Structure 1
Amino acid sequence: MKLALITDLHANREAVESVMAHAREQHAQRHAFLGDFVGYGADPGWVVDFMREQVLRGAIAVMGNHDRAVAKGPSPTMTNPARQVVAWTRERLDADQLAFLDTLPMALVDDDRLFVHANAFAPADWGYVTSRLDAIRSLHATDCVYTFCGHVHEPRLFHLSRSGKAGDFVPVPDAAIPLSPQRQWLVLPGSAGQPRDGNPAACYAMFDTDSATLTFYRVPYDHGAAGAKIRAAGLPQNLAERLSDGE
């Protein structure tokens, strides 16, 4: 089975449509969405409705910190621009859309795979996995062979051997990576809706469960149109600039 791993959509319709079209071309058979469906972007209603449809079709979906903030209110650690977008988004979602975000699970396990937005050791605290130590802590918290996380807007791959030796690297797009079941793996697909590694192209990854291989992809999309919507909505202007800069 080819499983598309898509995260941090951030209300970016243009990016989501481009990623989904690319995943279809790669013959994706199922999709896993790793949270943060809203926040930053100007199309929250469209993205939430899209996500509800995907879940009805059998997709995996977990809650992100921005989804939680829109459903329940922002956390004290959120930046001012993020809080502004949370308030703006809440005004544009109806009760059913808000309820969908509020009832998303924090994490899901499917066979030997864990799906979670932030990490496996304290999902509700929203801590980032940015180092080997973070990854080791997360992998020690689960028996699953494969952990798929969002939250970090840059693609990265961590691994941990049975002897405790850890490693990580930044993947090259379009190259299939074998993931040995003799190790544990933590996969960060990168953000579809707001990449932050200097490349504005949307990120996602595809896991082939039959061959146990993982391929990262970059998908160009019309970030100019997405940015124009942010400006027209009166949202913080730097959010539009981040899309074009990939930062």
Structure 2
Amino acid sequence: MKTAVLTDLHANREATEAVIAHARGQQAESWVLLGDFVGYGADPAWVLDTVREMVSQGALAVQGNHDLAVAQGASPHMRPEPRYVIDWTRGHLDAAQIDFLATLPLSAQRGNQLFVHANAWAPQGWEYITGRIEAMRSLHATECRYTFCGHMHEPKLYHLSGTGKSGDFVPTPGVPIPVPAHRQWLVIPGSVGQPRDGNPAACYAMFDDEAATVTYHRVPYDHAAAAAKILAAELPQRLAFRLEDGQ
């Protein structure tokens, strides 16, 4: 079965539409959504409604840190910019949408596959996987053969053998990578709504459990339109500029 794994949509309608269309063109048979559906972008309601519809049709979804922040509301101890974005986002969502964010699970498991936003060792702590040390810590925290994480906005692939040897790859878009189950694998698809590796094209990954491959994809989209919406909404300007240079 081919599973499209999307994460960090960040209220970016244009990127989300482009990625969903691309994944359907790649014959996606199931969908997994790794959180951070809101924050940064100007279309939180549209993105959330899309995610809710996908979940109603069988997609798996987990909670991200931005989702939790919006569900709980801004803390007075936050810096002014994130507090403003959270308040703005909450003001553009209804009660049912906020409740959906609040009730998302921190992780989900399907067979030998674990899905979580940040990491497998402490999903509620939102610590980042910035390199091989954290990746191995995450893989050691689960017996699943395949772990899929968001949170990091750059695509990456890590593996751990039964003898303890580890490795990592920066994937080439569109090239299937063999991921045999005699190793453990950690798949970080990169961000749909806000890539940060210098490439503005949206990211996602396609996992084929029958062929034991994962393919990372980059999907160009109208990032200028998404940026213009952020500016029109009077959200922080840097959130718009980041879309244009993938930073």
TM-score, length-scaled by structure 1: 0.98
**What are the Cα deviations for residues 82-111 of structure 1, in whole angstroms up to 9, with x where unaligned?**
332111001111110000000000000100
One-letter amino acid of the counterpart of residue 174, structure 2: D
Aligned counterparts of 1:57 and 1:105: Cα–Cα separation in 2:
17
One-letter amino acid of the counterpart of residue 38, structure 1: V
Q: Cα offset for 1:62?
A: 0.2
Alignment map for 1:92-241 (pairs within 5 Å)? 92-241=92-241
Number of positions where the alignment pairs a residue of Structure 1 with one of Structure 2 = 247
Pick closer, same or farther for the CA change 1:210–1:170 going to 2, 3 Å: same
Confirm or deny that 1:63 pairs with 2:63: yes
Coordinate RMSD, CA, aligned: 1.2
**What are the Cα deviations for residues 139-177 of structure 1, in whole angstroms up to 9, with x where unaligned?**
111010000000000000000011111111100000000
Q: Cα offset for 1:77?
A: 8.7
Percent same amino acid among aligned pairs? 64
Secondary structure at the counterpart of residue 4 of structure 1: strand
TM-score, length-scaled by structure 2: 0.98
Aligned counterparts of 1:86 and 1:32: Cα–Cα separation in 2:
24
Could you tell me which residue of structure 2 aligns to residue 31 of structure 1?
31
Could you tell me which residue of structure 2 aligns to residue 244 of structure 1?
244
Secondary structure at the counterpart of residue 134 of structure 1: helix
Consecutive unaligned residues of structure 2, counting only runs of 5 or more, are: none
Could you tell me which residue of structure 1 aligns to residue 5 of structure 2?
5
Consecutive unaligned residues of structure 1, counting only runs of 5 or more, are: none
Secondary structure at the counterpart of residue 18 of structure 2: helix
78-87 or 63-72: bigger deviation: 78-87
Could you tell me which residue of structure 1 aligns to residue 48 of structure 2?
48
**What are the Cα deviations for residues 104-130 of structure 1, in whole angstroms up to 9, with x where unaligned?**
000001000000000000000000011
Pick closer, same or farther for the CA change 1:84–1:192 going to 2, 3 Å: same
Aligned counterparts of 2:142 and 2:80: Cα–Cα separation in 1:
34
Aligned counterparts of 1:76 and 1:67: Cα–Cα separation in 2:
18
Pick closer, same or farther for the CA change 1:77–1:172 going to 2, 3 Å: farther
Secondary structure at the counterpart of residue 217 of structure 1: strand
